[in-house]
Chains A and B, each alone.
Chain A
Amino acid sequence: MIKIKVTTFSGDEKYIEVPEGSDYESLLIDLGINPETVIVYRDQQVVPLDECVEPGEIKILRVVSGG
């Protein structure tokens, strides 16, 4: 299992564990977040959702569409 710290756009922080080989898209789905509504970034860089989860910390940013 991979342990990861997740900070959501509301500022909530949580630690979760996901199986080795999981991608960020499945992580979001496990968290109950629609992947179409957010981007994920780590170390100030956006990560592709089909990339495998690595240990550490990620932040989840809401995609906002208003103007």
Chain B
Amino acid sequence: MVKLTDSDKKRYDRQMMISGFGEEGQRKLKRSRVFIAGAGGLGSTSSVFLAVAGVGHLKIVDDDRIELSNLNRQILHWNRDIGRAKVDSTKEKLSQINPDVAVEVVKTTMTESNVFDLVEGSNVIVDGMDNFPTRYLLNRVAVEKKIPFVHGSIYGLEGRATTIIPGRTACLRCIFPESPPPTRFPVLGATPGVIAVIQATEVIKYLTGIGRLLANRLLIYDGESMKFEEISVRRNPDCPDCSDIQKS
């Protein structure tokens, strides 16, 4: 059984005060493994909040290097990091933010041939991708391995988030059947910040069992009008990605 140290009890005191969280919730986080796909705008922010919350093991996968144009939003990467692999910068910063969290990084492109191995053993998958083909790949793996998948996406001052529980909720393909054409998207740095913090909250709620998840609910953030809206989503009985699991 995972035990909390005296240092843990001090560090996480304020969140253990949350109703339903307690020391048991903290122990659940400490023994959890979270897979973060991408160390960009969404991944760098969600990973910070998962690290400070005390998730025991974070695995971050990204194949990219840091460019100047990333720095308006990818808050883990700084001016001095330009040219470094994003995963190296991520590991260095997260380990300093919370040395008690095990941070594993892999610099690779996620493909059909490696993604099943990469997510093996994870309790949750966090979507920090910037394209739908890779999101669909993660969605399929999440569905097949029955691993919850916390989706986030952004554009300009807009964002979306939902939590997919395979077998129980609509999957990503049920909600977004078609991949939009690839685009060089505009983005204000605060937008992935908003969505990634929501994703981190969902992960922590799922792992600790507190609150009500964004299950079968698509949250829509409109930063321009500063409003949130949610719409109900349903499983598609003919979904090419999850209809088999629905029937099983």
What is the size, in residues, of chain B's interface with A at 8 Å between Cβ atoms? 40
Contact B220 A66 (CB under 8 A): no
Contacts of B160 in A (CB 8 A): 64
Residues 168-192 of chain B, each 1 if its beta carbon lies under 8 Å from chain A, else 0: 0000000111111111010100001
CB proximity to A under 8 Å, residues B190-215: 192
Q: Which of B132, B218, B230 makes the CB contact (< 8 A) with A65?
A: B132
Contact A66 B218 (CB under 8 A): no
A-B contact count (CB 8 A): 78
Q: How distant is the Cα of A44 from the Cα of B233 in the complex, in angstroms?
A: 9
What is the size, in residues, of chain A's interface with B at 8 Å between Cβ atoms? 20
CB proximity to A under 8 Å, residues B124-158: 127-132, 135, 152-155, 158
Q: Which of A36, A44, A48, A67 makes the CB contact (< 8 A) with B38?
A: A67
Interface residue B43 (Cβ < 8 Å from any Cβ of A): yes
The distance from the CB of A23 to the nearest CB of chain B, in whole angstroms, is 14
Contacts of A46 in B (CB 8 A): 175, 218, 231-234
Contacts of B159 in A (CB 8 A): 64
Across the two chains, which residue of chain A brings its CB closest to B135?
A65
Contacts of A63 in B (CB 8 A): 132, 153, 176, 178, 180
Other 19 A-B pairs with CB < 8 A, given A63-B178, A66-B192, A67-B43:
A11-B225, A41-B231, A44-B230, A44-B231, A45-B232, A64-B153, A64-B154, A64-B155, A64-B158, A64-B160, A64-B185, A65-B179, A65-B185, A66-B41, A66-B153, A66-B154, A66-B187, A67-B152, A67-B153
Tell me the B residues contacting A by CB distance below 8 Å.
Answer: 38, 40-43, 127-132, 135, 152-155, 158-160, 175-183, 185, 187, 192, 218, 220, 225, 230-234, 236
